[in-house]
């Protein structure tokens, strides 16, 4: 398991506590993403679930901590942080890099006998589909252009030199973690998997998203929405309604 990267509450944010919740959702942010970015998602999914959002090191209130550039190390640390939070059925939801990370945490939880009730992955090709990428080695200008193209970060944020100097290291680090990740073959998950993707996502095709079916023996469904890589932020109503419906079905 990973070394000590801080106590559980360092990793987990709960914007909308729900005492007595019958189900929890754990949200895994995308590369460069932070917990606060998922506040609207938390609000949308907070009935009937209690939503927990992960905060990776190297950003916002954890900006003084070193980033973790290895996805497996991140998965180990998060799995440890979630111990004690699995007393009710738990759904894992991850977008982009967060989808791969959620998958790896799901594998670890299943191996420990605490399988999630469902895994929901968004905007990410299935784990074994290796596509050589090197965004993390780009120049600053190239990295900004790439992130801007995906519409995942406010252009005004990247235009401010001071803010840019704070957020780019985390973005680069996360891209390194995602791009150097290599799937290790092992048992398929047993929990249901729901894959969501945009029909105009430059990062993943519908066919690539459909291959998540190969990674579970449980139920699988593929949901395609209008939009690009951040379809659930640019046109959130339909995907968030679907997530809420699928999460409620797990209770």
Bridge partners for 25 per DSSP: 51, 91
Contact 60, 36 (CB under 8 A): yes
Interatomic CA distance for residues 144 and 159, integer angstroms: 9
Contact 88, 19 (CB under 8 A): no
In the predicted model, is pLDDT for residue 165 greater than 90? no
Percent of the chain topping pLDDT 70: 88
Which tens digit of pLDDT belongs to each residue from 171-203? 999 999 999 999 999 999 999 999 999 999 998
Which positions are annotated as active-site residues? 96
Q: Is the dihedral of CA 145, 146, 152, 153 positive or negative?
A: negative
Q: Which residue has the higher pLDDT, 84 or 135?
A: 84
The C-alpha angle with vertex 84 and arms to 4 and 196, in degrees rounded to 5, equals 90
- For the record, the structure tokens of 86 come out as 């699995």
Give the residue carrying structure tokens 């905060």: 55
pTM of the model: 0.90
Which tens digit of pLDDT belongs to each residue from 106-153? 999 999 999 999 999 999 999 988 776 756 666 766 777 767 666 655
Quick one: average pLDDT of 218-239?
92
Q: What is the CA radius of gyration of the chain?
A: 17
In the predicted model, is pLDDT for residue 234 greater than 70? yes
Q: What integer pLDDT is reported at residue 148 of this predicted model?
A: 65
Percent of the chain topping pLDDT 90: 69
Q: Which of 29-33, 148-152, 179-183, 235-239 has the lowest mean pLDDT?
A: 148-152
């Amino acid at each position: 398991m990973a070394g000590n990267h801080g106590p559980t509450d360092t990793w987990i944010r709960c914007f909308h506590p729900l005492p007595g919740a019958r189900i929890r959702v754990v949200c895994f942010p995308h590369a460069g993403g932070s917990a606060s970015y998922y506040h609207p998602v938390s609000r949308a999914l907070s009935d009937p679930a209690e939503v927990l959002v992960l905060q990776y090191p190297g950003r916002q209130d954890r900006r003084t901590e070193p980033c973790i550039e290895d996805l497996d190390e991140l998965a180990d640390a998060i799995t440890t942080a979630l111990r004690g939070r699995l007393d009710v059925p738990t759904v894992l939801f991850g977008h982009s890099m967060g989808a791969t990370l959620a998958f790896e945490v799901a594998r670890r939880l299943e191996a420990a006998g605490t399988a999630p009730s469902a895994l929901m992955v968004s905007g990410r090709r299935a784990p074994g589909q290796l596509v050589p990428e090197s965004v993390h080695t780009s120049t600053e200008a190239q990295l900004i252009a790439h992130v801007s193209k995906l519409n995942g970060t406010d252009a005004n944020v990247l235009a401010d030199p001071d803010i840019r100097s704070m957020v780019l290291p985390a973005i680069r680090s996360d891209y390194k973690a995602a791009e150097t990740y290599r799937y290790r073959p092992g048992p398929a998950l047993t929990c249901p998997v729901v894959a969501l993707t945009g029909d105009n996502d430059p990062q993943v095709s519908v066919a690539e998203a459909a291959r998540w079916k190969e990674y579970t023996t449980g139920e699988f469904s593929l949901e395609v929405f209008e939009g690009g890589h951040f379809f659930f932020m640019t046109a959130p109503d339909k995907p968030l309604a679907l997530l809420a419906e699928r999460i409620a079905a797990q209770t």
